[in-house]
């Protein structure tokens, strides 16, 4: 004897397969990283979204990337480790900062793009909790 396959049975099977696939693939995409040192970045007193700030420490004659963050609409960002492998709780020290647009239509001085030429410095103390940067982007 053969069982009869009906449209109703095929529909039920299709729904089950879709639900199983949704369950399996849910959460497979990249998850946002949270928990890093937070800060706010203003350019000429205004908050701007989609600005990437990177922090470097000088090691001899070169610079080592310590972490980075990208601003939200309100200028806030949270630092992550290089390659975004996890959150970055910023240790005390002196940092050279660079900024660049990650999509925002703003003009940024060339000197701010490289740690070797950037004048944006952060002296992070053990008691500090939030990075607060207001950068003048007007040409000198």
Q: Are 108 and 78 in contact (CB under 8 A)?
A: no
**Pairing outcome for strands 93-101 and 51-59:** antiparallel
111: phi then psi, degrees, rounded to nearest 5: -60, -25
| Per-residue model confidence (pLDDT) at position 5 | 57
CATH level 2 (architecture), domain 38-135? Sandwich (2.60)
Residues 95-103 have a mean pLDDT of 94
Average pLDDT over the chain, rounded to an integer: 84
Report residue 104 as tokens: 């925002």
pTM above 0.85, yes or no: no
Residues 124-134 have pLDDT tens digits of 999 999 999 99
* Residue boundaries of the structural domains of the chain: 38-135
């Amino acid at each position: 004897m053969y069982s009869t396959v009906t449209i109703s049975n095929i529909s039920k099977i299709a729904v089950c397969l879709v639900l199983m696939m949704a369950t399996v693939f849910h959460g497979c995409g990249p998850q946002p990283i949270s928990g890093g040192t937070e800060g706010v970045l203003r350019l000429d007193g205004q908050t701007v979204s989609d600005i990437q700030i990177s922090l470097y420490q000088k090691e001899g004659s070169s610079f080592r990337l310590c972490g980075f963050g990208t601003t939200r609409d309100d200028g806030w960002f949270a630092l992550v480790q290089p390659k975004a492998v996890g959150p970055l709780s910023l240790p005390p020290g002196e940092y050279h900062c660079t900024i660049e647009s990650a999509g925002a239509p703003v003009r940024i001085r060339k000197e701010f793009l490289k740690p070797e030429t950037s004048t944006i410095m952060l002296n992070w103390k053990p008691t500090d909790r939030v990075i607060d940067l207001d950068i003048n982007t007007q040409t000198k």
